[in-house]
Amino acid sequence: MKPIFRSRIKKALALLAQTETPSALVVSGNPGAIRSRDTHYPYRPNSDLYYLTGCTAEEVTLILRPHAKDPVVLLAPPKDPVKSMWDGAPAPVKPLAKSLQAEVITTNEPLKAAINLLRGTSVCYAQSIAGTLSAAIKADLSARGAHELRGLPQSLVDVESLTAQLRMIKDPSEIKAIKEAAAITGDALLYALGMVQSGVREREIAAFIEYFYRAQGAEPAFGTIVASGPSAATLHYRALTRTLKNGELLLIDSGAELNMYASDITRMVPVGGAISSDLRALYEIVLSAQHAAIKKVKPGVVIAEVHKAAATEITRGLKELGILKGSVSELVKKSAFKPFFPHGIGHSLGIDVHDATPTGAIKLAKGMVITIEPGLYLPKAVGRFPACGIRIEDDVLVTSRGHEVLTDETLPKDLNSLLELMAG
């Protein structure tokens, strides 16, 4: 087990110790999810438990109490020989506990044990994820009357309000992990290019991309979006039922998750290797919006400024094409771009594809990894422009002086280079 996890626990303990009254944090593994009757969805470990401990187990709970004699406690899974026979025995907790300098409690009554450990604390940071021990503790405490709460936490806070502060800034090992995941995504999109032909169904391309991830030991960080023509106007298009047609643009938005870290790339491909001048004009607007937004990324900048840079380019472009009318600054001020660019400029990226982010106006800081993904959507044809959706997305690291794009090695964004690659 790497010392990185011990150092994260130390940071979490320090944050907890800052509160005026004694605080505790309880983070549990995710429960497995039932797909139907006795079949399960593929298991996904809990992101906060992984971040703090490196543990990917289902039934392990971490309890942090900076004021206590044993500040770090791990509740081990209860012994269950029948479950072990069917599903395999859970990984032993002792080696993990040793590296984290944690006490281990093995119990068949984890809720009771956890409540006992929380005696003497006033604030409890717990999870809201149904089926976790952490959420069960929250439910138990909230159901108690005042007389039953003596000595127990009276105030319950969501775990993410603490973990998001830590997870927002990535350490070098995390940046490396995101880069490795992004490299797989980049390769998958390059290999998928040969499939982008008229007559191919969207789902065939998605299946290939996800096959490629799994063959590399990765997983899709989210359901792969492959959206052709008007399908791409649906932001999180999931149907994948359309057949590709020459002359349309294909949107591919996908990300491999490798070793618990996600990536997220969107590229556009002209089906048939040719593009109309009208679609090209729309594409160039989004590309210049993305360039303008990426250029803004550096420490100290608020994300709203990055969004504004993209929105201004999109507004300028729509005005040039006659879709919007008026002065660019006035149009930006009254958000006239909203029907065409209705979403944010991007999101934090890490263990989760939409990674934990503290609330409020966050300023960019060194070590943050965010996506930059402006889009332009026409759910219906506008004049000579067909219904379509165009989005371009890269993963960007905030560095001390500016930024580094982590997802350059995939399908080119420059249309001429892309068309050349398709012709070759």
Give the binding site for Mn ion (CB under 5 A).
264, 371
Question: Are the beta carbons of 385 and 378 closer than 8 angstroms?
Answer: yes
Is 28 or 266 the residue whose CB approaches Mn ion more closely? 266
E strands, 65-165, in order: 72-76, 103-106, 123-126, 155-158
Q: How far is the CB of 220 from Mn ion (least distance, A)?
A: 13
Is 48 or 264 the residue whose CB approaches Mn ion more closely? 264
Question: Are the beta carbons of 189 and 267 closer than 8 angstroms?
Answer: yes
Is 28 or 371 the residue whose CB approaches Mn ion more closely? 371
Which residue bears the tokens 């000579």?
384
Q: How far is CA 87 from CA 19, 91, 133, in A?
A: 41, 12, 20
Is 60 or 392 the residue whose CB approaches Mn ion more closely? 392
- The pair of structure tokens assigned to 259 is 């070793």
Q: How far is the CB of 344 from Mn ion (least distance, A)?
A: 10
Is 90 or 346 the residue whose CB approaches Mn ion more closely? 346
Comparing C-alpha atoms, which of 207, 229, 210, 230 is closest to residue 218?
210
Is 105 or 353 the residue whose CB approaches Mn ion more closely? 353
CB-side exposure of 282: number of CA atoms within 13 Å?
Answer: 25
Q: How far is the CB of 373 from Mn ion (least distance, A)?
A: 5
Is 269 or 323 the residue whose CB approaches Mn ion more closely? 269
**DSSP result, 183-210:** HHHHHHHHHHGGG--TT-BHHHHHHHHH
Question: Are the beta carbons of 364 and 399 closer than 8 angstroms?
Answer: no
Is 110 or 374 the residue whose CB approaches Mn ion more closely? 374
Is 309 or 392 the residue whose CB approaches Mn ion more closely? 392
Sign (positive or negative) of CA dihedral 328, 329, 333, 334: negative
Q: How far is the CB of 371 from Mn ion (least distance, A)?
A: 4
Rounded CA gap, 316 and 296, in Å?
Answer: 18
Q: How far is the CB of 72 from Mn ion (least distance, A)?
A: 35
Element spanning 42, H or E: none
* Type of residue found at 262: A
Is 61 or 371 the residue whose CB approaches Mn ion more closely? 371
Comparing C-alpha atoms, which of 269, 280, 275, 253 is closest to residue 200?
269
Rounded CA gap, 368 and 366, in Å?
Answer: 6
Q: How far is the CB of 297 from Mn ion (least distance, A)?
A: 15
Residue number with the smallest Cβ distance to Mn ion:
264
Q: How far is the CB of 212 from Mn ion (least distance, A)?
A: 19
Which residue bears the tokens 């065939």?
204
Q: How far is the CB of 203 from Mn ion (least distance, A)?
A: 20
Rounded CA gap, 244 and 202, in Å?
Answer: 7
Q: How far is CA 21 from CA 91, 117, 122, 223, in A?
A: 35, 16, 6, 43
Q: How far is the CB of 338 from Mn ion (least distance, A)?
A: 19
Q: How far is the CB of 336 from Mn ion (least distance, A)?
A: 24
Comparing C-alpha atoms, which of 87, 88, 64 is closest to residue 75?
64
